[in-house]
Amino acid sequence: MIPFLHLTPGEDRPAIDQAIRRVLDRGWFILGPELEGFEAEFAQATASRHAVGVGNGTDALAIALRAIGVGTGDEVITSPLSAAYTAMAIVMAGARPVFADIDPIRLTLDPQAVAAAITARTAALMPVHLYGQPADMAAFAPLAERHGLAIVEDCCQAHLATCAGRPVGSFGAGGGYSFYPTKNLGALGDAGALTTNDEQVARRARQLRNGGQSERYRHDETGVNSRLDEIQAAILRERLKGLEHATSRRRALAARYRALLAETDAVAMPPLVDEGHVYHLFPVLAEDRQALQQHLRERGIETLVHYPIPIPRQAAFQTMDVAQCPVADRICSQVVSLPLYPTLDSAAVETVAQAVLSYKTARLRR
Ligand SMILES: *Cc1c(COP(=O)(O)O)cnc(C)c1O
């Protein structure tokens, strides 16, 4: 069996046990020294001046938008191919998500489609560094500048990713991160953070995450209750130490998949356009996705689809916009993620690749 994911702590189990014990012994569970330590360490890891820990990645994005003043009446342009939470964060901030199509190569927002979607109400762009692949920030930064728009980057799948050598999250107002257990940096529960180089944005975000309090029992605005707790912060501090190594491992496994699947036309691989890719997932495109998944399942290999439905086609969003996103539509019908995580061994990657190659032969025989 090759499962899609493996989340049970392994090598880092003793360190995590110790981190949890440290918090229990201290008896301080919310907004304490572990969070402060993690925020400083995560800011450094992402080359940003400030990190603000919050309850999850969705809140990180929503709070980042609110902290820069995006709200009612504003439009935020984002990708139709992402976790639906990206668009929900925009709604939570009081704004309206507008979907522009994706680039068929990167599978991230297409700058030309974004340019065409800008209106007088557009306040911000929210590119998603999907699957760990950085969006085309070299195009978005000048576009935003020209139109006076803010950029908040969805970095929920892109911890430590860089775009043309520059860290994601640094191209605009800031970035939103998720530490959901399956993410490249995963907690043992829900957690998230936003990063920014702007002191004012960081201060406002700290206020917003804590009920809008400027000081204890003084609520200056209606914020939310969304804090990264001490136990998760302590766990994340331990895991952050191994993140660079885990990222190298993801890249090595991805390179192996690329080499093994380079020749086949059973599946298409999105090309590597930026070495800063951190491979949260390893998606391939297949004409008959269901048959490929079935073929792999029969060989004990688990796959998942990220994502089967473009966000503007979700019942929750379709009333908002008749989105014209043909590329996202096609990708959603063909994309399938192969297993890839730091504890997967190279032999398993070979097994998966061989199974994909044998799918082609099986199809020809039919
Ligand atoms: C995981 C994820 C989110 C949401 O993060 P949560 O921590 O689950 O709220 C948002 N956007 C993307 C691209 C994600 O992968």
DSSP code per residue over 271-330: ----TT---S-EEEE-TTHHHHHHHHHHTTB--B-S-SS-GGGSTTTTTT-----HHHHH
Same domain, 168 and 224: yes
Please give the pLDDT value at position 324. Answer: 81
The CATH number linked to 78 is: 3.40.640.10
Q: Which residue's C-alpha comes closest to atom 5 of ligand 1? A: 57
Given a cut of 90, whether residue 131 has pLDDT beyond it is yes
Same domain, 174 and 208: yes
Same domain, 115 and 30: yes
Q: Pocket of ligand 1, candidates 59, 78, 86, 190: which has the most ligand atoms within 8 Å of its Cβ, to mutate? A: 86
Q: Which residue's C-alpha comes closest to atom 6 of ligand 1? A: 57
Q: Give backbone dihedrals phi and psi of 142, rounded to 5 degrees, phi first.
A: -65, -35
pLDDT digits (tens, 9 = 90+) for 252-283: 999 999 999 999 999 999 999 999 999 999 99
For the chain, percent of residues with pLDDT exceeding 70: 98
pLDDT digits (tens, 9 = 90+) for 71-113: 999 999 999 999 999 999 999 999 999 999 999 999 999 999 9
Kindly give the distance from the C-alpha atom of residue 83 to the centroid of ligand 1, in angstroms, as a whole number. Answer: 6
Q: Does ligand 1 lie within 6 Å of residue 210's CB atom?
A: no
Q: Does ligand 1 lie within 6 Å of residue 86's CB atom?
A: yes
Same domain, 221 and 284: no
pLDDT digits (tens, 9 = 90+) for 192-216: 999 999 999 999 999 999 999 999 9
Q: How confident is the model at residue 360 (pLDDT cuts 50, 70, 90)?
A: confident
The CATH number linked to 267 is: 3.90.1150.10
Q: How far is CA 107 from the centre of its chain?
A: 13
Q: Does ligand 1 lie within 6 Å of residue 154's CB atom?
A: yes
Please give the pLDDT value at position 264. Answer: 92
Alpha-carbon distance of 304 to 351, in angstroms, equals 17
What is residue 365's three-state secondary structure? helix
Judge whether 5 lies within some domain. no
Alpha-carbon distance of 327 to 104, in angstroms, equals 6
Dmax (CA) for the chain in angstroms is 72
Judge whether 4 lies within some domain. no
- H or E stretch covering 234: helix 230-241
For residue 73, what are its two tokens? 């009446």
Is 169:48 a contact under the CB 8 Å cutoff? yes
> First and final CA of the chain: distance in angstroms?
26
Is 289:334 a contact under the CB 8 Å cutoff? yes
Distant-in-sequence, close-in-space partners of 82: CB < 8 Å, separation ≥ 6 = 128, 130, 154, 307, 311
Choose the final residue of a domain: 182, 217, 240: 240
Same domain, 326 and 304: yes
Q: Does ligand 1 lie within 6 Å of residue 85's CB atom?
A: yes
For residue 157, what are its two tokens? 């799948």
Q: Which single residue is written with the structure tokens 């709070």?
A: 63
Same domain, 218 and 285: no
Q: Does ligand 1 lie within 6 Å of residue 177's CB atom?
A: no
For the chain, percent of residues with pLDDT exceeding 90: 96
Distant-in-sequence, close-in-space partners of 214: CB < 8 Å, separation ≥ 6 = 207, 220
Judge whether 3 lies within some domain. no
Q: How confident is the model at residue 323 (pLDDT cuts 50, 70, 90)?
A: low
Given a cut of 80, whether residue 319 has pLDDT beyond it is no
Please give the pLDDT value at position 361. Answer: 73
Same domain, 303 and 354: yes
Same domain, 165 and 153: yes
- Please name every residue paired with 163 in a beta bridge, in sequence order, or none if there are none: 166
pLDDT digits (tens, 9 = 90+) for 156-187: 999 999 999 999 999 999 999 999 999 999 99
Choose the final residue of a domain: 172, 205, 240: 240
Q: Pocket of ligand 1, candidates 63, 85, 92, 229: which has the most ligand atoms within 8 Å of its Cβ, to mutate? A: 85
Same domain, 158 and 206: yes
Q: How confident is the model at residue 362 (pLDDT cuts 50, 70, 90)?
A: confident
Same domain, 172 and 259: no
* pTM across the whole model: 0.97
Given a cut of 80, whether residue 365 has pLDDT beyond it is no
Kindly give the distance from the C-alpha atom of residue 300 to the centroid of ligand 1, in angstroms, as a whole number. Answer: 28
Detail the DSSP E strand segments found in the chain. Answer: 50-54, 75-78, 96-99, 122-126, 150-154, 162-163, 166-167, 174-178, 192-196, 213-215, 218-219, 282-285, 335-338
Q: Does ligand 1 lie within 6 Å of residue 78's CB atom?
A: no
Q: Does ligand 1 lie within 6 Å of residue 192's CB atom?
A: yes
Judge whether 42 lies within some domain. yes
Judge whether 8 lies within some domain. no
Judge whether 7 lies within some domain. no
Please give the pLDDT value at position 322. Answer: 59
Q: Does ligand 1 lie within 6 Å of residue 169's CB atom?
A: no
Kindly give the distance from the C-alpha atom of residue 354 to the centroid of ligand 1, in angstroms, as a whole number. Answer: 31
Same domain, 34 and 182: yes
Tally of domains within the chain: 2
Judge whether 2 lies within some domain. no
Judge whether 305 lies within some domain. yes
Choose the final residue of a domain: 240, 261, 285: 240
Q: How confident is the model at residue 356 (pLDDT cuts 50, 70, 90)?
A: very high
178 Cα nearest atom in ligand 1: 7
Q: How confident is the model at residue 320 (pLDDT cuts 50, 70, 90)?
A: low
Please give the pLDDT value at position 353. Answer: 97
Q: Does ligand 1 lie within 6 Å of residue 57's CB atom?
A: yes
Same domain, 328 and 187: no
Mean pLDDT, the chain, whole residue set: 96
pLDDT digits (tens, 9 = 90+) for 210-221: 999 999 999 999
Please give the pLDDT value at position 364. Answer: 66
**Domain region containing 264:** 243-365
Q: Give backbone dihedrals phi and psi of 89, rounded to 5 degrees, phi first.
A: -60, -35
Q: Does ligand 1 lie within 6 Å of residue 180's CB atom?
A: yes
Kindly give the distance from the C-alpha atom of residue 256 to the centroid of ligand 1, in angstroms, as a whole number. Answer: 27
Given a cut of 60, whether residue 321 has pLDDT beyond it is no
Q: Which residue's C-alpha comes closest to atom 2 of ligand 1? A: 156
Q: Give backbone dihedrals phi and psi of 135, rounded to 5 degrees, phi first.
A: -70, 170
pLDDT digits (tens, 9 = 90+) for 28-50: 999 999 999 999 999 999 999 99
